[in-house]
Amino acid sequence: MIPVAMVAMLFATSAFGEEKSGITVVGVGKVDAKPSIVELTGTVNGEAELAGDAVTKFRGNRQSAIEAIEALEISGLTIEGTGVSVNSAMTQQQMQAIRQGMAPQGDSAGKLAVSEPLKLTLIGVDEMDTEMLLETLVKIVDAGKDSGIVIGSLPTTINYGYNANTSTPLAKFKLTKIDELKAQAYEMAIADARKQAERLAEISQVKLGPITGIREGNLPKNNTQQVVYFNPYMQQQDDDDKFTSTDLRDITVSITLQVDFSIVGNRDE
Amino acid sequence: MAAYAQSVYPRIRPAFPAGICLAVLVFCLPAPTFAQLAVPAAVAVDDSDDEKSLGGFQVPVDDSVSTTFKDFERFAARNDWEKAFRAIGEIPSDKRVGMLKVGDGMIVPARQRIWQVVADLPAEGREAFRVFFDAKARELLSQIEDVDQAEGLKLARQIFDEYFLTSAGDDAANLLGEAAFEVGNFGEAEQYWRDILDHHPGSELSDVKLQVKRAVALLYGRRDRQFDALLKDIAQRFPGQTVVLGGEDVDPVRFLQSLQMSVLESSSHDGSEGAENEFVATGVLQEETPIAWQVQFLSDNGKKLFDQANNSNNWYQNGIETYVPPFTTRGHQLFCNWFGVVFSIDTTNGKLQWRSDKFDKLHSKFSQLPHSQCNIEQFAVVAGDDVVLAISLDPEKLNNYREPFQLMAYERDSGKQRWKSSDLSDFKQTSFVGEPLILGDNVLVTTHGQNDTKYVLRSLKLKDGGENWNKELGTAVRVQRSQRYQEQPPIPSFLKTDDAVYMLTNNGALIALDGQGKDLEWVLKFEGPPTSSNQNMFWYYNEPLADTVALHSQGAILEDEGTVYFKEAVSNELYAVDPSVPKVLWKRPLATEAVLTAVDDNQLFVLTREIMAIDRDTQRLQWARRLPIVGGGLSTVVGRDTVYVFTNRGIYCLDKQDGSQKAIFRGADLETNGGWIEVLDDRLVCVSNMTVTAYIPPWSKNGLPDNQPLSESNRQ
């Protein structure tokens, strides 16, 4: 891990405020760490006109996918199902009708689709060199393709149009021990805040007292109008999503703290 | 396509003529050699709109026979036998030439339909029938001894058709069965003897002898499973009984077992061309499987141009990027038709023997090909004893609007053009469609006009293209398959069996013809493809190809053990038909893009982007496995224990029982889309969109000396 402390935007409230006196600063702590897990998602499915066929296909495809991955005998690689879904798949005619803004015809000819995303997790990638990691990933992707798994998350919508980009990332690199990294980042954020506060105190010729308050996040900006666009599809990100990259590079754990320091008198006193 | 025309799975071949002679001796036929049986000549169908409502291929309609037949049915339903038999008397044997609807889409010759309805009469009706017609039938039977063979057969046929339920009917059927057997129509012979057993309970002919005759016909007709079942039945039902065969009392079971051994032995010594091509694929292809040779017809430079053309085309896509050219094999030669460039490869050494044009002549056409007006699925190639026939276009006319496809004949050995249809005055504006079927010195082929879809079946002479006869089959509905400007006529598929020719219209109908393809036996009508009025005619920029286009799904028809299996190109149903009745045994849904590729003893194999094995008896999906299939040439080699599929990630070797992956042999075609795969002699041949490659599989006895790698010496 490479700890990096960055100087954040200095923000000082009214140093001698009417209701409370003190210095409020924003401290930022950032810890860069090499991802230790790589995750691939493969989808197995069975789609057919007859429900029985769809189930048979799904079972066969799932079994061959798992066998193919396990046959690689890659240390630290696990595969797990993340839940089976059963859907009514649309025929091509129905899809075309929808694209043209028409109601699709009856669904009696529609297919039944049974599918399950499989999560392939490889741990210990931080101990591998890039070459070895790439080689391992290629093996997994190859085995997945050989066994007919659709590797990578499928786009939920496809735009047929100019410059439409339908490529999707195959792997997600993730951090583990996020709590430890966060703890480091917190320490660095506090240290950063104290450093800034001391500097302000020195300039202001006051004595810095103990911390009287800490809040996570940036200070709200005054005199700025914020417009929030509601996006119903945007989901709350948890740590699992936050500390993830689709590129093989260091991932930054960043903590921003708003820290209030008290002022205990003038420097001359 | 060659891959469909012959199953790789081994079958017992009848030994001709020794086998026939043996059986003829066994039966000690008093009847001399009879001429080919007469069959209905006209195409006429019961007047009903039911078939029309199914859409797709339509046959001409004539209601002259059906009115009288309906009278018969009406009187029979009321047990008014006198009126019923009078009505049917108005349709004598020689007038029963139209076609009548049976139901469930089946349309059969009037002769057959009327016969069946009479044979199925209730006991009271059967008795009445005998009272009405027995004397007349006996009189006709007695005349047979006084006339020549052809006339005798005609009389027997009349008795069978019109008076089967009388005391003379079984004798006439027996005579007809023996005559059919003698000329090699084993299926027909077995049917006559089965008719006696099933519909003539009062017959004095020996049950066990009729069953033995049936068994022999099944054996020579390559219906092994049915033969085995019947043999078991005979052993159970007639223990200790003997039959007189060849003047001797013999045990029927021992006799049949001995005959079976003899047939098996004869088939193993069959010296006909292709008989040595009886290698049975087995086991997996190891990583070190050697390559015997490779011919690259699309050069690396050509591939760049081809890809450029496709990459810059984002609207009217016809699936050219995943197209694999059709091929066929004959003896030690492989023939391929690549957008009109027909070429021949010596499969023993991979040498290019001849080609109709330079491969790189097509390079300048690539930029136009993605939105070419021609139907690329229409290219075809077949080979006969001394001729190669290609349904093709002059490469210069690849992009012409509705350019008629020509039939071109090449000398098999030299590639010299023998004739082409555009030089024949009758065919200048005629488009040839569907893989031609070579029958002896003639070829059976379908055509339609440049601007119509009236399908005509033609028999042409191989030597000069002269027409022997033609027959209008019906009118097809154009189908919008690819993302391009125009709808296209469907491409029929043919299958020749021992006693029939089947034409799958790929447009909602299966047509059964006699062994020469001349006379219509029956038609099965089912739901046709959607018409363009129901179809989307708009496409989006960069819209992915529909699977039917990307996989170049073709209709396929296969026969095994007397059952015909088929799936049309744009249908979502797989059918099994018993042609001897005829009737649909079962049908089941399948993906529209699915292609039926092979049948073995227990399973049917179907390919889409996955391979499926369907149980023949239960129609259940036994197993399925997703494969990286991206383009055309959907085919399988079904071996003893392994199924082989050629994909763009190599040749998959799958366990035949459960579909589990035994191995993936990457091979020398990873740059291609995958495609056709076939066992040819002792080689495993793969035809892709770029190359023809032959591997030396483990079951080959004739490997290269030192597992010779692909080199300049065996690469062209």
Domains of chain A and any CATH numbers: 2-35+177-266 (3.30.110.170), 37-172 (3.30.70)
User: Is B657 within the bounds of a domain?
Assistant: yes
Average pLDDT, stretch B505-523?
90
Record: contact B588-A146, CB cut-off 8 A: no
Pairing state of beta strands B621-626 and B637-638?
unpaired
Looking at residue A83, the DSSP 8-state letter turns out to be -
pLDDT the model gives residue B117: 87
User: Is B480 within the bounds of a domain?
Assistant: no
User: How many whole angstroms separate alpha carbon B657 and alpha carbon B638?
Assistant: 11
Q: Which of B268, B298, B314 is the last residue of a domain?
A: B268
Q: Are residues B131 and B230 in the same domain?
A: yes
Residue B541 is nearest to which of A44, A93, A161, comparing CB atoms? A161
User: What is residue A195's three-state secondary structure?
Assistant: helix
The answer, yes or no, to whether ipTM is higher than 0.85 is no
CATH number of the domain enclosing B118: 1.25.40.10
How distant is the Cα of A140 from the closest Cα of chain B, in angstroms?
A: 15
Record: contact B621-A53, CB cut-off 8 A: yes
pLDDT the model gives residue B484: 56
Residue B21 — very low, low, confident or very high, per pLDDT cuts 50/70/90? very low
Q: Are residues B180 and B282 in the same domain?
A: no
More confident residue, B714 or B385: B385
How distant is the Cα of B536 from the closest Cα of chain A, in angstroms?
A: 7
Residue B716 — very low, low, confident or very high, per pLDDT cuts 50/70/90? low
How distant is the Cα of B296 from the closest Cα of chain A, in angstroms?
A: 25
Q: Which residue has the tokens 């480091």?
A: A184
Q: Any bridge partners for residue B334, and if so which?
A: B329, B345
User: Is B192 within the bounds of a domain?
Assistant: yes
Find, in chain A, the residue whose alpha carbon is nearest to that of B626: A148
* Residue A195 backbone dihedrals phi, psi, to 5 degrees: -60, -45
pLDDT the model gives residue A227: 47
Q: Are residues B221 and B250 in the same domain?
A: yes
What's the token pair of residue B54?
Answer: 């199914």
**Interval B475-502: pLDDT, tens:** 898 887 665 556 788 999 999 987 899 9
pLDDT the model gives residue B482: 61
Q: Which domain holds residue B683?
A: 274-290+595-716
What's the token pair of residue B365?
Answer: 């056409």
Interface test with A, best of B547, B626, B652 (most A CBs within 10 A): B626
What's the token pair of residue B141?
Answer: 């039977």
Q: Are residues B221 and B286 in the same domain?
A: no
Note if the bond before B698 is cis, omega within 30 degrees: no
User: Is B14 within the bounds of a domain?
Assistant: yes
pLDDT the model gives residue B266: 77
- Angstrom CA distances, B205 to A259, B171, B191, B361, stand at 110, 8, 16, 69
User: Is B496 within the bounds of a domain?
Assistant: no
Q: How many domains does chain B have?
A: 2
In the predicted model, what is the mean pLDDT of chain A? Answer: 78
What's the token pair of residue B273?
Answer: 């061309």
pLDDT the model gives residue B226: 86
Record: contact B626-A145, CB cut-off 8 A: no
Record: contact A100-B589, CB cut-off 8 A: no
Average pLDDT, stretch A227-232?
46
pLDDT the model gives residue B414: 96
Q: Are residues B223 and B255 in the same domain?
A: yes
Note if the bond before B17 is cis, omega within 30 degrees: yes
| pLDDT over threshold 70, residue A18 | no
Q: Are residues B629 and B711 in the same domain?
A: yes
What's the token pair of residue B686?
Answer: 């793969």
pLDDT the model gives residue B202: 84
pLDDT the model gives residue B528: 86
- Angstrom CA distances, A88 to A62, A99, B58, B141, stand at 19, 18, 34, 64
Residue A148 is nearest to which of B541, B546, B610, comparing CB atoms? B610
Q: Which residue has the tokens 């006379």?
A: B519
Q: Which of B233, B268, B303 is the last residue of a domain?
A: B268
User: Is B75 within the bounds of a domain?
Assistant: no
Residue B589 is nearest to which of A49, A96, A148, comparing CB atoms? A49
Record: contact B627-A148, CB cut-off 8 A: yes
Contact A42, A20 (CB under 8 A): no
Which strands form B637-638's sheet, in the order they lie side by side?
A: B637-638, B642-647, B650-655, B661-665
Average pLDDT, stretch B270-290?
74
| pLDDT over threshold 60, residue B33 | no
Q: Are residues B286 and B250 in the same domain?
A: no
How distant is the Cα of B663 from the closest Cα of chain A, in angstroms?
A: 10
More confident residue, A82 or B390: B390
User: How many whole angstroms separate alpha carbon B554 and alpha carbon B634?
Assistant: 9
Alpha-helical (H) ranges within B96-251 are 110-119, 123-144, 149-163, 169-182, 186-199, 207-220, 224-237
Q: Are residues B180 and B284 in the same domain?
A: no
User: Is B380 within the bounds of a domain?
Assistant: no
Record: contact A93-B538, CB cut-off 8 A: no
Residue B268 — very low, low, confident or very high, per pLDDT cuts 50/70/90? low
Q: Are residues B236 and B283 in the same domain?
A: no
pLDDT the model gives residue B12: 34
Record: contact A49-B626, CB cut-off 8 A: no
Continuous segment of H or E residues that includes residue B563:
strand B563-567
Looking at residue A103, the DSSP 8-state letter turns out to be P
How distant is the Cα of B431 from the closest Cα of chain A, in angstroms?
A: 30
**Interval A162-171: pLDDT, tens:** 445 556 677 8
Residue B206 — very low, low, confident or very high, per pLDDT cuts 50/70/90? very high
How distant is the Cα of A120 from the closest Cα of chain B, in angstroms?
A: 19
Nearest to A146 by CA among B653, B671, B636, B669: B653
Average pLDDT, stretch B219-240?
90
A49 CB neighbours in chain B (<8 A) are 572, 589-591
Q: Which of B209, B234, B268 is the last residue of a domain?
A: B268
Q: Are residues B128 and B219 in the same domain?
A: yes
pLDDT the model gives residue A106: 54
User: Is B617 within the bounds of a domain?
Assistant: yes
More confident residue, B239 or A222: B239
Q: Are residues B17 and B141 in the same domain?
A: yes
Contact A33, A91 (CB under 8 A): no
Q: Which residue has the tokens 């005798």?
A: B152
User: What is residue B644's three-state secondary structure?
Assistant: strand
**Interval B315-369: pLDDT, tens:** 667 888 899 999 999 999 999 999 999 999 999 999 999 999 999 999 988 888 8
CATH number of the domain enclosing B614: 2.40.128.630
Find, in chain B, the residue whose alpha carbon is nearest to that of A43: B626
Record: contact B624-A162, CB cut-off 8 A: no
Q: Are residues B253 and B283 in the same domain?
A: no
B620 CB neighbours in chain A (<8 A) are 52
Residue B572 is nearest to which of A49, A97, A145, comparing CB atoms? A49
Q: Which residues of B touch A (CB under 8 A)?
A: 530, 534-536, 538, 540-543, 546-547, 572, 588-592, 610, 612, 620-628, 649, 659-661, 664
Record: contact B572-A57, CB cut-off 8 A: no
- Least confident range from B31-45, B398-412, B573-587: namely B31-45
Record: contact B589-A164, CB cut-off 8 A: no
